[in-house]
Structure 1
Amino acid sequence: MKKFLILLAITSFFSCGGLKDVSKLKEKDVVLSVHKGPCGGKCSVYNIDIYKNRYAVYEGIANVEKYGIYAVKLSKEQMNELTSVFDANDFFGFDDNYPIESPDFPVITLKYNKENRSKTVTGSIHRPQKVLDLQYALENLAKLPNLKLIKANAPTTVEGQPQANEVSQIIDNEIIVQLQPNISMRSWMEKYAKFQVRVTNKIQATPPKWVIYFNKNLVDADGFLKILQNDKEVKNAEFNKKITHR
């Protein structure tokens, strides 16, 4: 996986012949894809599809760095690298569906079509780490500086600092948490079960950032934030904020 990520970072993805009209690409020709839907908060919403002709098409819909439709063509080696990662992680061996514990969680779908086999894996926050890693590998395509803009879209619900006409208000029973690498969110939450901690949203994929709810009738809000900030398994913790217009 690391080798693949390095390859993405250092290699140009443009072909000499330029990009074709991506509107003519057919769904039946998709080899790999990841589609991420909306959630109850400000989750990123996007689609990434990679076709038999090695064209990769990214569509940024909401809460993303790049809005609109972008495309790039992969070399044969790069295409093989991607499919090899899915094969090495036995994508066809995963369950078709993983539980989505809340209607507020985003629905995330990964698909792999190989010869006469087709596999779709659907879930949300709680999926095997290997499935998450495959999602992140495809997401890295959206970060390439060589993507070519095909069609621009207006930004939708952008996260960021309050603008001049906006006011931020702390939500004192929600904390944004980033765990240390290789720490499982599900296992980590068990330490704080007595405070009725639960995940309400995942606001960033890489590195993962989560919004957690806790019952402030069971623990002082400021005190609980300090507990998390001193937790060695937590990299960052801060209160969530609500942005409203004046």
Structure 2
Amino acid sequence: MRVLHLLILVLGAGIFMASTCRPLTNKDLDKLTPRIQMEKGPCFGSCPVYTLTIYEGGVATYEGQRFTTRQGLHTKLLATNTYRELIKTFQSANLWSYQNAYKAQIPDVATVTITYYEGDKSKSIKGKDGRPAKIEELEKMLTAIADSGGWEQQAAGENYGMPPNIIANELIVNLSAEADPNVWIIQFAKQDLQIVKRLSPNSPYWLFRFNADRIGPNEMLEWVRRDPYVLSAEFNQQINGTPRND
């Protein structure tokens, strides 16, 4: 894993051992100094939702959340000239002279937040459409990095960061009698939502399983709960080590 070996040189001893080449975690990244971050939020369609962070020295992380080809935490090491040119462009942009937020004219497009760190200072600029041309130019540079190749997936974290009694990729959903579960799940095809079983022959409660590598468990639960045919939804849980609805 070439990228991880390079990351070892950048991160230094004490973050993780070269002999194990274990994947990076958020705890490792907390020891790095961020320089640039771009957060792309949701829209009313299928806009990619992710966070791109560039750290001192060129370590980059991509955390895909929704409607992205890469889900979860990914890392890469930027080429030296790419990193230097990026920092130079941000320094010359004088972001301190811009507003912190720009009012949107088109409300259903994604909100983009770009943050630049310089020493003890930081500047965040948030907006949708209607931002200054220079800010949109910086966004294009960062988007090009996010869309580039060479990313390596890192550990998703134990149980996707959920409590140990929670089955992070299973939901118990109380569906309206008007909904056909086989049709209802089609809208969640990208999350690979599948019917596990009906909890009892005439019960409105269904057990579903989804791919937690494609979407975070809490995000999936929130999304399902917003559906008009869903009366309630919760994670399946283990009781004494056994799934509650096994």
- TM-score, normalised relative to structure 1: 0.51
In structure 2, stretches of 5+ residues that fail to align are 9-15, 17-23, 161-184, 188-246
The reply on whether 1:57 has 2:61 as its aligned counterpart is yes
Counterpart of 1:82 (choices 86, 103, 110) is 86
**C-alpha distance in 2, partners of 1:18/1:112?**
22
Displacement after TM superposition at 1:138 (Å): 0.8
Give me the CA root mean square deviation.
3.1
**C-alpha distance in 1, partners of 2:34/2:117?**
7
Alpha-carbon displacement from aligned partner over 1:37-77 (angstroms, at most 9, x marks no partner): 11122211110011224310001222223233210123443
Taking a change above 3 Å as real, the CA distance of residues 83 and 66 of structure 1, as seen in their structure-2 partners, is same
The reply on whether 1:17 has 2:6 as its aligned counterpart is yes
**C-alpha distance in 2, partners of 1:27/1:122?**
26
Contact 2:115 / 2:123 at 8 angstroms: preserved in 1?
A: yes
Counterpart of 1:29 (choices 20, 30, 33) is 33
**C-alpha distance in 2, partners of 1:52/1:127?**
27
Taking a change above 3 Å as real, the CA distance of residues 166 and 136 of structure 1, as seen in their structure-2 partners, is same
The reply on whether 1:47 has 2:36 as its aligned counterpart is no
Contact 2:57 / 2:83 at 8 angstroms: preserved in 1?
A: no
If you compute each CA radius of gyration, which structure gives the higher value, 1 or 2?
2
The aligned counterpart of 2:154 is: 150
**C-alpha distance in 1, partners of 2:77/2:186?**
41
Displacement after TM superposition at 1:31 (Å): 0.9
Taking a change above 3 Å as real, the CA distance of residues 116 and 53 of structure 1, as seen in their structure-2 partners, is same
The aligned counterpart of 2:21 is: none
What SS class does the counterpart of residue 17 from structure 1 fall into?
Answer: helix
**C-alpha distance in 1, partners of 2:56/2:149?**
23
- TM-score, normalised relative to structure 2: 0.51
The aligned counterpart of 2:124 is: 120
Counterpart of 1:73 (choices 67, 77, 96) is 77
What SS class does the counterpart of residue 144 from structure 1 fall into?
Answer: coil
Counterpart of 1:94 (choices 94, 98, 107) is 98
Contact 2:50 / 2:63 at 8 angstroms: preserved in 1?
A: yes
| Aligned-partner residue type, residue 129 of structure 2 | I
Contact 1:99 / 1:123 at 8 angstroms: preserved in 2?
A: yes
What SS class does the counterpart of residue 92 from structure 1 fall into?
Answer: helix
**C-alpha distance in 2, partners of 1:76/1:28?**
17
Taking a change above 3 Å as real, the CA distance of residues 118 and 27 of structure 1, as seen in their structure-2 partners, is farther
The reply on whether 1:129 has 2:133 as its aligned counterpart is yes
Alpha-carbon displacement from aligned partner over 1:189-240 (angstroms, at most 9, x marks no partner): xxxxxxxxxxxxxxxxxxxxxxxxxxxxxxxxxxxxxxxxxxxxxxxxxxxx
Contact 1:22 / 1:71 at 8 angstroms: preserved in 2?
A: no
Contact 2:51 / 2:63 at 8 angstroms: preserved in 1?
A: yes
**C-alpha distance in 1, partners of 2:95/2:120?**
15
**C-alpha distance in 1, partners of 2:140/2:25?**
23
Instruction: Give runs of aligned pairs for residues 100-115 of structure 1, distance below 5 A.
Output: 100-101=104-105, 103-115=107-119
Structure of greater relative contact order (alpha carbons < 8 Å, 6+ residues apart): 1
Contact 2:106 / 2:128 at 8 angstroms: preserved in 1?
A: no
